[in-house]
Every structure is written in C-alpha cells, then in structure tokens.
Structure 1
Amino acid sequence: MKAMETMWTRADRWRRSCGLDDNDMRRDVDRVQWRLGVLLLMVFLCAAPPLSAHAVRSVHESGVRKERYEAATLERVEATIVKVGEAEGRRRVTVSWTAKDGTPRTGDYTTWRGAEVGDRLIVWAGGGTVTNRPPRGHTQTVVLAASAGTGAALAAGLPPLGLYALLRRRCDRRRYRLWDAEWARFDSRHIGP
C-alpha cells in the first residue's frame, strides 16, 4: 500500500513539475515555454524514428552487400612476407603465395603490426587486393547499422534541442524582467504605520 502511495506521489510531483496543473503562480511565459517545449519534443519524436530507420536500413543493406562481395571474392591463403617497407608511419608489406591453380602470386597491403621478411601469415586475397583482415562479418554490419541509427537520432534531436535552448533563454529573460517588475512594485508599497 505504501509503495503504491509513493508511486502516485512521484507521478503527481512529475505532473506538477511538467506544468500540468492549475497553479496560479505560473505566468504566461511559463506556459508558453512548456507548450513550445512539448511541441519541439513532438517534432523530435515524429522525425527521429523515420530518419533512424532510414539510416539503419541503408547502412545494413550496404553492409550485407559488402559481406557478400567479400565472401565471394576473398579467399584465405597462407603467405610469406618477401618485403617490408615504411609508408607514412605504417608498414608496407609485400607477400607471396601460391594460388589454387598453382601460379605464384604477390600482393601488397599496409599494416600497423610488426612484420619481418620470411614470416608466414594468413591473408585474404582476391579481386586484385590483399589484406590481413578477414572478410566482414554480419556482427560488424549490425554494429555499424545500430551506430548509424543512433547518430541519426542524435542529429534529429540537435535542432529541436538548440531551438529549445534559445527559447528557454528568451523566456528566462522575460521571466526575470517580470520578476524584477514585481519586486519593484512590491517595494513601492508602504508597509506599516
């Protein structure tokens, strides 16, 4: 029973703090700020889901295409490092391997990792490229799509948030002017004998 009272008390406190009451002490500027804030929140809630859904769908479809392309074109090969050079603070590694048809192949890729001539390592080759990272997995696609959706929601939220900040600043100035006028009127009254 006590938990239920506490819940209703909190809900009522939240309702009053949002301005959903008939408080005579609220000024028109308070009501205007609250209504425009709710309007901007509604704009965000109407804009963010479709924008996020579009971003997620686009990034996911692109990622799935890249997954399929890399799975179809890249093959895992065991290669030997034949040359290591420096390129803009990174290592330019040349590797050689034997293709499935028995022809010798070479290719270059850039890496941060240490590499020595003669080391044997696993690389992925195909489509005229060589890389030391495996083909893209579905997990990476899902993470990138979720990140894009979150970024789109944040981007959709920035303009309404900025407008609300400007609105609040303007309403605060008006509120302070009204407050100062009330104090001046109160001070001008004669109190006492």
Structure 2
Amino acid sequence: MRAAIGVWRWRRNPLRRTTDLVEAWVALVAVALLVLAVPAAGWISGTRTDASLQRAVQAQTRQRPVTTARVVRLAEAPAPGTQSPESAGEQPARRAVVATWSAPDGTTRTGTVATRRELSDPGDTFRLWTDLDGRPVTAPMRPETAHAHATIVGLLTAALAAVFVEAARRLVVRRLTHRRYRRLDRAWAEAGPDWGRTGAGS
C-alpha cells in the first residue's frame, strides 16, 4: 500500500526526481512479488517435491514388502544398521534379537535384527520389512513424512525467494541513491564557485 501511495504521490509532484519515481515503482513491484510470486514459488516447489516423494514412497513400498518375524532368542551381537533416520531416536528402546521370517519367495530366513524391547522375548512377533531377496531393510518412508518434507521445502523456497526480492530491491535503491549523490555533486561543483557572491548568476 505504501509503495502504491508513493507512486501516486510522485506522479505530478514538482519536486519529483526521476529516481524518486523509479524507486517508488521498484517498491511497488517488490510488494507485488512478495504477495503473489513468493507464495506461488513456495507452493509450486512444495507440490512438486511432494509428488516426487510420494512416487518414492510407492516405489519403496513395492520394493520392500512387509512380513512377520518371530523372535528366537536375544542376540549376542548388535543388529546390522537397518534403521532409518526417522527411527534414530528410538534406538535406546530397541534390542537386537535373532528372528526368523519368510522371504518374498516363501523361504524361511534367520538373522539378527532389531525390534522394540517389549517385543524381544522368544516367541514374540513383529513386523519386518525386507527387500525382494528377503534381506532386512529399513521401513519405507511414510506418506505423512513425505508431506512434512515437502512442506519444509516449500517454506524454504518461499523464504529464499522473499530474501532474493528484498535484496534486489535494496540493490536498486542503493544504486539510485548513489546516482542522486553523483548528480548532487555535479550540481554543487557547478554552483559552488559562485555560492554567496553578490549578483552571482545575474
């Protein structure tokens, strides 16, 4: 609003300089970009990222079938690192066990895996994701996690776009200010020698 008022104020003002009008228009364009283009950039970026991540979720779901594993006994060695970053905070609540499960081809597999402590007694069952060869893998990304990541990307894109718009506006205003100073210096250099003289310029 202030940018629009500035353009209108400098429209027919006898004190208006060309740089004043340019600066007002630059401010108006910056406001329009911040209101329209910046949110659009964030929305487009977030939407495309979400679509890409959802395709990755679907691919992981197809390539990582879930099966039921049964605990045989506690493991003496730690389980291989098959946990995803999403579950990194759950590590203290997990325990390595020797378990059996069925591979996608129907064969029975036995190995050391990690499960929650409350499901680590012999005979307990828990969900286990495997690859197509039956090896334990991390669980596929959840759709809601993909949505959260896409939202973050969209917000970051919008923030970076806003920073770029404001930086561009400040750069233009700075150059306009330097241009005004140069003009003032030239005008002063022309009028300075006669400043204060009686009848100067007559």
Q: Do the two structures share a fold, i.e. TM-score over 0.5?
A: yes
Residue 144 (structure 1) aligned with residue 149 (structure 2): yes
* Root mean square deviation of aligned Cα: 4.5
Residue 74 (structure 1) aligned with residue 79 (structure 2): no
**TM-score normalised by L of structure 2:** 0.55
Q: Write out per-residue CA displacement over residues 144-166 of structure 1, whole angstroms, 9 at most, x where no aligned residue.
A: 11122223333444544443232
| Moved beyond 6 Å, runs of 4+ | none
Cα deviation for residue 35 of structure 1 reads 1.6
2:172 counterpart residue number: 167
Higher alpha-carbon Rg: 2
Query: Structure 2: any 5+ residue segments left out of the alignment?
Result: 82-90
1:103 counterpart residue number: 108
1:120 counterpart residue number: 120
2:17 counterpart residue number: 27
Cα deviation for residue 107 of structure 1 reads 5.5
On the 8 A contact 1:15/1:21 being kept in 2, the answer is no
1:64 counterpart residue number: 54
CA pair 46-68 structure 1, distance change in 2 beyond 3 A: same
CA pair 96-16 structure 1, distance change in 2 beyond 3 A: same
Percent identity at matched positions? 18
Query: Structure 1: any 5+ residue segments left out of the alignment?
Result: 1-10, 110-118
On the 8 A contact 1:56/1:148 being kept in 2, the answer is yes
Give the distance between the partners of 2:113 and 2:7, measured in 1 at CA. Answer: 66
- 2:130 maps to a residue whose letter is G
Secondary structure of the residue aligned to 2:137 is: strand
- 1:120 maps to a residue whose letter is S
Give the distance between the partners of 2:98 and 2:165, measured in 1 at CA. Answer: 56
- How many aligned residue pairs are there? 167
Cα deviation for residue 48 of structure 1 reads 4.0
Give the distance between the partners of 2:127 and 2:184, measured in 1 at CA. Answer: 72
Secondary structure of the residue aligned to 2:98 is: strand
Give the distance between the partners of 2:54 and 2:141, measured in 1 at CA. Answer: 9
- 1:59 maps to a residue whose letter is T
1:55 counterpart residue number: 45
Q: Write out per-residue CA displacement over residues 54-80 of structure 1, whole angstroms, 9 at most, x where no aligned residue.
A: 322322223323434455523464654
**TM-score normalised by L of structure 1:** 0.57
1:5 counterpart residue number: none
Structure showing the higher strand proportion among its residues: 1
